[in-house]
């Protein structure tokens, strides 16, 4: 190992740490979960209401979205890797669950700020 | 000499292909899209040091096309191409600077691979929020890069082509 290796490893760790701290500092509770399928917003659900929805992704595959106690998660999916299911719950503004194979994205958004965004769009 | 090279190419391509398959079979419990163990990077790293940077790129592109044709589709090819080419660029730049050992080169490759994949995902899924995955992808790319770099160093020391 050379000096450059250690500098690189330290640099990557520092960057990851800084990004993590920045995210912790800026995190705020979200109020909605926005569903995007193949890049297009298809549905927006309120995090305050518990519900279970089956989303149809690309290729006829499905993801089961569960909203419970103000948190959203993919309880089941028929994508090959199940990374979206393993990821667990999300509830903070900006947190996202992605299912690449089905091209389904669930993104948490804050309440008032995001509705202003919607109007501006 | 030419035959030797053809045989070596074939062998390494097959090895990289098989490693891609094995990697896809290992269930990863805590994972986000774009995260990879980077086993195949072992082959790429080996060819980078034992052959040339051009050979390494060629091997990797052939492997990605094979993998996409066998297990994936055009979308998965886009993800792996972005990761693979960015990773290759990072590795040759660091290698040429001569300031890094194989571990550093491999770490740069691993991190660049993960970052490349997340960039394509942001583009395809049209959500910049995926940047939240960055810390996990940086650290996982780093860890995989260190392991692959150490293994690669041993391989290059022991195997003479």
Domain containing B136 — which CATH number? 1.10.1760.20
Give every CB contact of residue A104 below 8 A, 6+ residues apart in sequence: A35, A36, A37, A55, A57, A58, A63, A84, A98
Q: What is the pLDDT of residue B56?
A: 93
Q: What is the pLDDT of residue A6?
A: 95
pLDDT per residue as tens digits for the range A16-57: 999 888 888 877 888 999 999 988 899 999 999 999 999 999
Whether residue B50 is predicted with pLDDT greater than 50 in this model: the reply is yes
Count: domains in chain B: 1
Which residues from chain A sit within 8 angstroms of residue B134, using beta carbons?
16, 19
| Averaged pLDDT for residues B64-85 | 86
pLDDT per residue as tens digits for the range B75-90: 778 888 988 999 999 9
Q: Any CB–CB contact under 8 A between A13 and chain B?
A: yes
| Integer angstrom CA distances of residue B13 from A8, B40, B60 | 29, 10, 8
Would the CB atoms of B142 and A36 count as touching at under 8 Å? no
- Least Cα separation, residue A92 to chain B (angstroms): 11
Whole-model pTM above 0.80? no
Helix (H) or strand (E) holding A106: strand A104-109
- Least Cα separation, residue B100 to chain A (angstroms): 5
CA distance B122 to B126: 5
Nearest to A98 by CA among A51, A65, A68: A65
Fold of A28-120: mini-chromosome maintenance (MCM) complex, domain 2 (2.60.320)
CA distance B37 to B54: 23
Would the CB atoms of B138 and A107 count as touching at under 8 Å? no
SS3 B63: helix
Would the CB atoms of A39 and B125 count as touching at under 8 Å? yes
Whether residue A111 is predicted with pLDDT greater than 70 in this model: the reply is no
> CB A104: neighbour CB atoms within 10 A?
27
Determine whether B73 is exposed, middle or buried from the number of CB atoms within 10 Å of its CB (0-12, 13-18, 19+): exposed
Cα Dmax for chain B:
51
Q: What is the pLDDT of residue B28?
A: 58
Whether this model's ipTM surpasses 0.90 comes out as no
∠ CA A104-B31-A61, rounded to 5°: 30
Most A CBs within 10 Å, among B132, B133, B137, B153, to test the A interface: B132
Q: A74 and A106 in contact (C-beta within 8 Å)?
A: yes
Q: Any CB–CB contact under 8 A between A3 and chain B?
A: yes
- Least Cα separation, residue A50 to chain B (angstroms): 24
Domain boundaries defined on chain A = 28-120
Q: At what angle do helices B134-158 and A3-26 cross, to 10 degrees?
A: 160
| Averaged pLDDT for residues A96-117 | 75
Eight-class DSSP state of B133: G
Q: A31 and A50 in contact (C-beta within 8 Å)?
A: no
Nearest to A45 by CA among A29, A55, A34, A58: A34
Q: Any CB–CB contact under 8 A between B77 and chain A?
A: no
| Integer angstrom CA distances of residue B124 from A40, B73, B78 | 11, 14, 10
CA distance A6 to B60: 27
| Averaged pLDDT for residues A99-120 | 70
Would the CB atoms of A107 and B31 count as touching at under 8 Å? no
Instruction: Give me the domain span that covers residue B73.
Output: 2-158
């Amino acid at each position: 190992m050379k000096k450059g290796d250690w500098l690189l490893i330290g640099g990557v760790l520092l960057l990851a740490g800084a990004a993590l701290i920045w995210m912790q500092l800026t995190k705020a509770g979200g109020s909605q979960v926005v569903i995007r399928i193949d890049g297009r917003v298809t549905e927006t659900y309120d995090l305050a209401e518990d519900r279970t929805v089956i989303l149809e992704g690309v290729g006829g595959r499905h993801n089961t979205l569960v909203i419970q106690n103000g948190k959203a998660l993919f309880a089941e999916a028929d994508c090959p890797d199940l990374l979206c299911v393993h990821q667990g719950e999300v509830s903070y503004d900006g947190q996202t669950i992605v299912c690449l194979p089905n091209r389904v994205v669930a993104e948490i958004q804050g309440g008032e700020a995001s509705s202003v965004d919607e109007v501006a769009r | 000499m030419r035959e030797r090279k053809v045989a070596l190419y074939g062998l390494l391509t097959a090895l990289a292909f098989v490693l891609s398959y094995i990697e896809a079979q290992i269930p990863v419990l805590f994972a986000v899209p774009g995260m990879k163990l980077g086993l195949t990077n072992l082959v790429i790293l080996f060819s980078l040091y034992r052959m040339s940077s051009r050979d390494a790129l060629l091997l990797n592109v052939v492997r990605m096309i094979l993998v996409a044709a066998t297990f994936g589709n055009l979308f998965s090819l886009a993800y792996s191409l972005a990761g693979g080419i960015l990773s290759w660029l990072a590795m040759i730049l660091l290698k040429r600077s001569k300031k890094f050992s194989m571990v550093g080169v491999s770490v740069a490759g691993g991190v660049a691979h993960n970052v490349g994949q997340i960039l394509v995902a942001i583009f395809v899924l049209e959500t910049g929020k995926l940047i939240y995955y960055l810390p996990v992808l940086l650290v996982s790319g780093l860890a995989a890069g260190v392991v692959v770099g150490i293994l690669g160093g041993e391989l290059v020391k022991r195997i003479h082509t």
